[in-house]
Amino acid sequence: MIQISDLSKNYGKLKVLENINLQFSKGDGIALIGPNGSGKTTLIKCILGMVIPRKGKILFNKKNIANNWQYRQNIGYMPQIGRYPDNMNIGQVIEMMKDIRKSVSTVFDEDLIQNFGLEKIYDKRMRTLSGGTRQKVSASLAFLFNSDVLILDEPTAGLDPVSSEILKNKIIKERNKGKLIIITSHILSELDDIINKVVYLQDGNLKFNKSISEIKESTGEGKLSKAIANIILNKSFNEQNT
Amino acid sequence: MNKILKYVILDIIRNKIVLTYIFFLFLITLGVFNLEDNSSKGLLSTLNLVLFIVPLVSVIFSTIYIYNSSEFIELLLSQPLKRKSIWLSLFNGLSLSLVFAFIAGTGIPILIYHADITGLLLILSGAILSVIFVSISMLATVYTRDKAKGIGISILLWLYFALVFDGLVLFVTFQFADYPIEKLVLIVSSFNPVDLSRIIILLRLDDSALMGYTGAVFREYLGTGIGITVSFTVLIMWFIVPLYFSLKRFKKMDL
């Protein structure tokens, strides 16, 4: 569904992504992991067309996304830090997004709005919201349009345990419908039942791209978090020795 | 595109600054016309105010507005929308609001006190100046990430067009007063939209007699129907060109 070839990006002298080749198919649950500053968010923003790559191309449903915008109809995006117009309230933001995307989908998925209880605080201004509430708005907007692809950048960061559980269940539900889900997170333990593939980025380089069963097999660990930690530690251990 | 425009305009109205601007312009223009004993003098004073205040308010308001909309732009960019339509909606929203404010604030008193071609030309050039300075501010914001720097550049550009440029032209004219440089001055003036608007209006007022030979040359070229058409074409270029370059840059920006 999404095919990334030879993608490179730099901000000035700083290389953020180097020759990334990846392929995401329908129904996949991808975990995009890596240390801070490894280029995860930049990769996501490249897919969304918010960052223009220096080199390489991205195909979405076999169409190049450069200078294209229609493909974003199929993407629901939840940013890491949701930034919204300060003097609008929650209700207005949600109405505005519905209005903008109305022509594309007429059925809205308001599960999250209801489950998070956002309707009760519709008249709160965006600038008065706490980080967690902002995340709830971002998540609700990402799922609102029944998009085929969901891109979630640190979805549960800042959410309380109850909300985080609601969101997780929603992600699993959507994944079971056969949607492609790309998720970045540092909390590996919560990814366990959501994903089937792991993409590991470090310093803008693709370190590995494996399915979970492969990882668990090769490390002999039952838990994803331990398995990944195992691989990362082994890698740095090997690097130190050579 | 119209949808985004709707939200931009709603946002600007909610902002209330534009309403204050209308009220302020209205009060000043009305005051000026009442102070002068004939409406022609009133129009001249209004002209000077318009050439000073309109560019300043347009350039600063739009610069700050665009910086403050960065969240809004970011939100829209992840949606199925063209970058071009986002940028043009911002431009249209700002231009429409400021032109409306100018016409409501200054246009109505002018039409009451001095409703002739000259008055209409002043309204037209004030409206185009508003749009030109929106366009210039969009160019300034797109080339600087830093808000303080961007606003600084906008203010400097305004200073240049409103004050410095005139000074330079005057200096050169005085230095080379012995040579026939009237045509050169005419061409140089079109490099400044504020000056160009001033000359267009001045030539239609009786005071242009005070401008001597240069005034006569100006009148010969700009006083005619063709001259006015050409000058307005130049004014229109003054907002199309910055807008074009800002759009070109915005399309390639990382957000």
| Model pLDDT for residues B113-145, shown as the tens digit of each residue | 888 888 998 999 999 999 999 999 999 999 998
What DSSP string runs through B36-96?
A: SSSHHHHHHHHHHHHHHHHHHHHHHHHHHHHHHTHHHHHHHHTSS--HHHHHHHHHHHHHH
Handedness of CA B218, B221, B222, B225 (dihedral sign): positive
Give the span between the Cα atoms of A141 and A232, in whole angstroms.
34
Q: How confident is the model at residue B201 (pLDDT cuts 50, 70, 90)?
A: confident
Give the span between the Cα atoms of A31 and A209, in whole angstroms.
10
A201's CB contacts (< 8 A; 6+ apart) are: A20, A32, A33, A34, A38, A39, A40, A43, A207
Q: How confident is the model at residue A239 (pLDDT cuts 50, 70, 90)?
A: low
Residue type, B1: M
| Model pLDDT for residues A55-91, shown as the tens digit of each residue | 898 999 988 988 888 899 889 999 988 888 888 899 9
Q: How confident is the model at residue A236 (pLDDT cuts 50, 70, 90)?
A: low
Structure tokens at A161: 């345990």
Q: What's the pLDDT at B116?
A: 87
Q: What's the pLDDT at B253?
A: 87
Average pLDDT of the segment spanning A211-239: 76
What ranges in chain A are assigned the alpha helix state H? 40-48, 90-101, 111-115, 131-143, 161-176, 212-219, 224-241
Average pLDDT of the segment spanning B26-44: 89
What ranges in B103-211 are assigned the alpha helix state H? 108-113, 117-143, 147-159, 165-175, 182-189, 193-204
Give the span between the Cα atoms of A19 and A55, in whole angstroms.
8
Q: How confident is the model at residue B31 (pLDDT cuts 50, 70, 90)?
A: very high
Cβ atoms within 10 Å, residue A51: 21
A143's CB contacts (< 8 A; 6+ apart) are: A76, A109, A111, A112, A150, A170, A174
Average pLDDT of the segment spanning A96-119: 84
CA angle in degrees (0–180, nearest 5) for B236-B239-B242: 140
Q: Does any CB of chain A come closer than 8 Å to the CB of residue B145?
A: no
Average pLDDT of the segment spanning A16-37: 89
Average pLDDT of the segment spanning A200-218: 84
Q: Which residue has the higher pLDDT, A232 or A150?
A: A150
Instruction: List the single residue in A51, A71, A72 with the smallest CB-CB distance to B254.
Output: A51
Residue ranges of B 28-47 with Cβ closer than 8 A to chain A = none
Q: Is the pLDDT of residue A242 over 70?
A: no
Under an 8 A CB cutoff, do A85 and B71 touch?
yes
CATH number for the domain that contains residue A140: 3.40.50.300
Q: Which residues span the domain enclosing A145?
A: 2-241
Q: How confident is the model at residue B71 (pLDDT cuts 50, 70, 90)?
A: confident
Q: How confident is the model at residue B210 (pLDDT cuts 50, 70, 90)?
A: low
Q: Is the pLDDT of residue B229 over 90?
A: no
The sheet carrying A29-33 orders its strands as A75-78, A149-153, A180-184, A29-33, A197-202, A205-211
- Note whether B173 and B94 are within 8 A (CB): no
Q: Is the pLDDT of residue B211 over 70?
A: no
Q: Which of B7, B12, B4, B245 is nearest to B142 (CA)?
A: B245
Which of A42, A69, A144 to probe by mutation at the B interface, max B CB count within 10 Å? A69
Under an 8 A CB cutoff, do B75 and A83 touch?
yes
Average pLDDT of the segment spanning B239-249: 95
Structure tokens at A135: 């995340």
**A180-184 and A29-33 beta bridge pairing:** parallel
Q: Is the pLDDT of residue B10 over 60?
A: yes
Structure tokens at B38: 């004939």
Q: What's the pLDDT at A238?
A: 59
Q: Does any CB of chain A come closer than 8 Å to the CB of residue B4?
A: yes
B123's CB contacts (< 8 A; 6+ apart) are: B102, B103, B106, B107, B110, B111
Percent of chain B with pLDDT over 70: 96
Which of B12, B78, B89, B248 to probe by mutation at the A interface, max A CB count within 10 Å? B78
Q: Is the pLDDT of residue B209 over 70?
A: no
Give the span between the Cα atoms of B53 and B162, in whole angstroms.
10
Under an 8 A CB cutoff, do A69 and B83 touch?
yes
What DSSP string runs through A192-217?
A: TTT-SEEEEEETTEEEEEEEHHHHHH
Which of B17, B67, B254, B255 to probe by mutation at the A interface, max A CB count within 10 Å? B254
Domain count, chain A: 1
How far lies A159's CA from each of A43, A183, A184, in Å? 24, 16, 15
Q: What's the pLDDT at B221?
A: 73
- Note whether B43 and B110 are within 8 A (CB): yes
Q: Is the pLDDT of residue B215 over 80?
A: no
Structure tokens at B101: 């404010």
In DSSP terms, A184 is beta-bridged to A32, A153
Alpha carbon of A173: minimum distance to chain B alpha carbons (Å): 23
Task: Look at A63-67, B32-36, B99-103, B179-183 and tell me which has the smallest mean pLDDT.
Answer: B179-183
